[in-house]
Structure 1
């Protein structure tokens, strides 16, 4: 048992001592300058231009499942690739095109909202990860959800 502890302590000590190299010293300054110049010249990004980035469902009843289609155009100079789209909670589910969208082409993103268990004012967002310059785009939805009617109080039936 003591040997095992000593061996583990020795291995731990060696790993702590052997990691003293500073990784920033290995980066060549000329490579940083070349990369900065290259990135400054590259303006050929796709651009997601939405007809609207927010949608209000108005007043709905708790339990309703509503959906809205957000239309967009790739107004950039390169094909648009949507990597993922995620709702801010499990009640908000986006569907997006999986194939690249050419410059000038249009696309659609369907956003479904399930209001079950979500009474009162709701504001949700969809975060889109794509190969745009910013890398992330945001869509917002909102609704005023009428709560389900509560059962009337009193003694249970059959008593």
Structure 2
């Protein structure tokens, strides 16, 4: 009798553990679907913003520099650089979105229209935590210019110390 109750407890434990594992896998799958749907929604918003740019009168821009070198940085450090954007045309310049090449780069940019001959900015913030060695990163800046997107790049030599 005692042996049967131990066996029964063991079987119930296995079933409970298996049921929990199955639920965890289902939750992971559901989280993956939610994440994918959020990515699609953000992508669709970006596409809508870019389509709106094409309806606006075109202008032109100049970038203070399209490439920046952070040099040597320590792994785990957070660095940022601001690129200055000048509206060289005769229509307001609209930056609709800035799309970084990877999740390690977070953009911030001028959201208001940049009037002719005025300046705006695009700041790229880089988290080096997941990297080692020479890194080349980029972000695409979508605007109401003929040559959109404008690509901004930076490099960093991430050192482990």
Is TM (by shorter chain) over 0.5? yes
What is the 5 A alignment of 1:96-107?
Answer: 96-107=109-120
Question: Is 2:74 aligned against 1:87?
Answer: no
Structure 1 CA distance for aligned equivalents of residues 90 and 149 of structure 2: 17
Question: Is 2:142 aligned against 1:117?
Answer: no
Aligned to 2:142, which of 129, 132, 135? 129
Q: How many residues align?
A: 105
How much does 1:100 deviate? 0.6
Structure 1: 5+ residue runs without aligned partners?
A: 1-43, 149-159
How much does 1:45 deviate? 2.5
Question: Is 2:133 aligned against 1:140?
Answer: no
Aligned to 1:45, which of 47, 53, 58? 58
Partner of 1:40: none
Structure 1 CA distance for aligned equivalents of residues 148 and 134 of structure 2: 29
| SS of residue in 2 equivalent to 1:104 | coil
How much does 1:108 deviate? 1.1
Structure 2: 5+ residue runs without aligned partners?
A: 1-56
How much does 1:123 deviate? 0.3
CA displacement, residues 59-116 of structure 1 (integer Å, 9 cap, x when unaligned): 0011000001111210011111111001110001110111111111111111100000
TM-score (norm. length: structure 1) = 0.64
Question: Is 2:87 aligned against 1:108?
Answer: no
| C-alpha RMSD of the superposition | 1.1
The structure with the larger Rg is 1
